Amino acid sequence: MRPEFTQLSHSEPVLAMQSSLHTPSKMPLLCAPSWLYLSLQTLKSQSKAGLLLPGKCLQFSAPCCSIHSLKLERTLCLSHKTRTAAFQDASAISSDTAESDVLKALSQIIDPDFGTDIVSCGFVKDLEIDEAQGEVSFRLELTTPACPVKDMFEQRANEVVAMIPWVKNVKVTMSAQPARPVFAGQLPAGLQTISNIVAVSSCKGGVGKSTVAVNLAYTLAGMGARVGIFDADVYGPSLPTMVSPENRLLEMNAEKRTIIPTEYMGVKLVSFGFAGQGRAIMRGPMVSGVINQLLTTTEWGELDYLVIDMPPGTGDIQLTLCQVVPLTAAVIVTTPQKLAFIDVAKGVRMFSKLKVPCIAVVENMCHFDADGKRYYPFGRGSGSQVVQQFGIPHLFELPIRPTLSASGDSGIPEAVADPQGEVAKTFQNLGVCVVQQCAKIRQQVSTAVTYDKSIKAIKVKVPDSDEEFLLHPATVRRNDRSAQSVLDLFIVHKPGPIQFKKSVL
C-alpha cells in the first residue's frame, strides 16, 4: 500500500501545478493577478526596445508590486519544495514497491521442513535493490550449512526474482546461521557454540553403533556441516580404531586448562582412547567425572552437529550425558534379533523419560545378496517393531557388507572410502533425515513457548498442531518453585538489571 501525501496547511499559498502525482481534475486553477500580467507586458516591451539589460533586476512601478513580488517568490519557493518532497516520496514509494515485488516473488518458495515460505522463516537477508539498473542482490541464511535443499533454494530464488519485469540481474549468496544451541545459557562454556547434539545409542553391544555414529558424522561433514565426534565409551573406546588421525593424542591448553581435540578429515575427535590411557579400569562415579570433563572442557569451537557415540546400557554414563547436555535428538541402532530389540526398547524408554526425541532407527546387518537372491540370516522385523511400537518416523536398513566391516578396522570410514556406494547412500539418507528432524525440533522449541506482554500471559503451542493455550505466570510459579523458575519469571516481568538483597543471597 502506498503512503498518502501529507496535506499542506491552508495558510500556506500553493501555486497549482499539474503533476503526474496528482489528478488534474481535482486541482483548482488559480488565475494570475492583473498586476503580474501588466508587469510581464512591460517586461516584453522593455526587452524588445533594448531597455532591459542583461543582469539587471526588473523594478515594478505599481505601488503594491514589491509586496506581490515577495508573495510570488514565496509561492514559487513553496511550490519547488512541494515538488521536491513529492519526488522524494515517489522515490520512496518506488523503492518500497520494488522491495515488495522481490519479497512477494521469494515467498513462493516453500521450505519443505517447516511448511512455510522462506520469507516468513526469516531466511532472506541483506536485500539490496538498484531499480534503475535492474539489479537485485540478497543472501539466503539457512538454519544449517548441511541443508539438503540449499541448491534448490538458490536455483528457485534466481528464477522467481528474474521473472519480475524490471529485474535484469540477480545475485544470490548462500550462508548459514551461526552455530548456537537452543538453550545457550544452560550449557557449559565449551558447548555454547554447538547447534545440535545427536546421540547414537543402542543399549546393546556389538550391533554396529560406533560404525553408524562415525559414518553419520562424516556424511554430515560431506554435506557441508561442521562436525565433531565424542566417544563416550570409556571402558571400550572404538574411535581410535575406526579413524586414523595423524595426532593420536589429545593436547591440553595449559593457560585455559582446556582440551584441544584431534582432527581427521575436517571432523574433530575426542575419545578416552586418545588420552594415552587406553581402556579405563575404574568405578562408575569416576567414569562419569571423566566423561563430564572430556565433553565440557574441550575446545569444540563452532559446530553444527556433535555426534555422541553412546556406550551400551542405561546406567550412570548415559544419565550423566543426558543431564550435562540437552541432547537435540537420538538415533537408535539395532539388529534383527529379538534380543537386540529388548535392549533397544529400554534405551528408547530412557530417552523418552529424559525428553529426548528419537528421530530414526538404523537396523544393521539386515540382509545380504547372493546368487540373485536376498537372504536374512538373523530374521526380520526388529527395526520395524521399534518404529511401530514407539512411533519413530524413519527406518534405515544396512546390509551385511565385508567392506563396511573392513572400513571400521582400517581407520577409513565407509562413507569416505566409497562415497558413491550403496552403503554410503543409506548414510546420506540418514544424514538428510537427521538434518531435517533437528531443524524441526529447533523450530518447535523456539516457537513453542512465548510471552505475550499485551495480555501478560505465556502462550504454549502444541508441537505438530495448531492448538495453542495460555498460562498465567502465577500458575507456572505455583507448579514450579525452583530458584531458576522464580528468576526467569522475575526477568520476564521486570526487565533490566537485577538487584538482590543480601538476605536473598
The better pLDDT of the pair 141, 70 is held by 141
Alpha helix segments (H runs only) across 364-421: 382-390, 402-410, 414-417
As a whole number of angstroms, the distance between CA 424 and CA 150 comes to 20
In the three-class reduction of DSSP (H, G, I as helix; E, B as strand; rest coil), residue 25 is classed as: helix
As a whole number of angstroms, the distance between CA 414 and CA 215 comes to 7
Confidence of residue 270 (pLDDT cuts 50, 70, 90): very high
Backbone torsion region of residue 463, taken as left when φ is above 0, otherwise alpha when ψ lies between -120 and 50, otherwise beta: beta
As a whole number of angstroms, the distance between CA 353 and CA 111 comes to 31
Mean pLDDT of 443-468: 69
Query: Residue 106 pLDDT > 80, yes or no?
Result: yes
pLDDT at residue 463, as a whole number: 57
As a whole number of angstroms, the distance between CA 103 and CA 463 comes to 28
As a whole number of angstroms, the distance between CA 150 and CA 174 comes to 8
Per-residue pLDDT tens for 247-264? 888 888 888 889 999 999
Alpha helix segments (H runs only) across 334-479: 338-353, 382-390, 402-410, 414-417, 422-448, 473-479
CA 135, 139, 140, 145 torsion: positive or negative?
positive
Count of CB atoms within 10 A of residue 95's CB?
Answer: 12
Mean pLDDT of 97-117: 86
pLDDT at residue 479, as a whole number: 72
Contact predicate 91/129, CB 8 Å:
no
User: What pTM value is reported for the model?
Assistant: 0.68
Query: Alpha carbon of 224 to those of 150, 233, 465: distances in Å?
Result: 11, 27, 32
User: Percent of the chain at pLDDT above 70?
Assistant: 71
As a whole number of angstroms, the distance between CA 329 and CA 147 comes to 17
Which helix (H) or strand (E) segment holds residue 451: the answer is: strand 449-452
Phi, psi angle pair for 170, to nearest 5°: -125, 135
CA 242, 245, 249, 254 torsion: positive or negative?
negative
Per-residue pLDDT tens for 422-447? 899 999 999 999 999 998 888 776 55
In the three-class reduction of DSSP (H, G, I as helix; E, B as strand; rest coil), residue 194 is classed as: strand
Whole-number mean pLDDT of the chain? Answer: 75
Written as nine digits, the cell of 397 is: 536398513
Which of 423, 419, 319 minimizes the C-alpha distance to 368? 423
Query: Residue 92 pLDDT > 70, yes or no?
Result: no
Per-residue pLDDT tens for 320-373? 787 778 889 999 998 888 888 888 888 888 888 888 899 999 999 888 888 888
Per-residue pLDDT tens for 167-205? 999 999 998 887 677 665 667 777 888 999 999 998 777
- H/E/C letters for each residue in 234-264? CCCCCHHHHCCCCCCCCEEECCCCEEECEEE
As a whole number of angstroms, the distance between CA 58 and CA 164 comes to 54
Per-residue pLDDT tens for 28-67? 443 444 333 334 444 444 444 444 444 333 343 344 444 4
As a whole number of angstroms, the distance between CA 484 and CA 276 comes to 40
Per-residue pLDDT tens for 380-409? 877 788 888 888 889 999 998 888 888 878
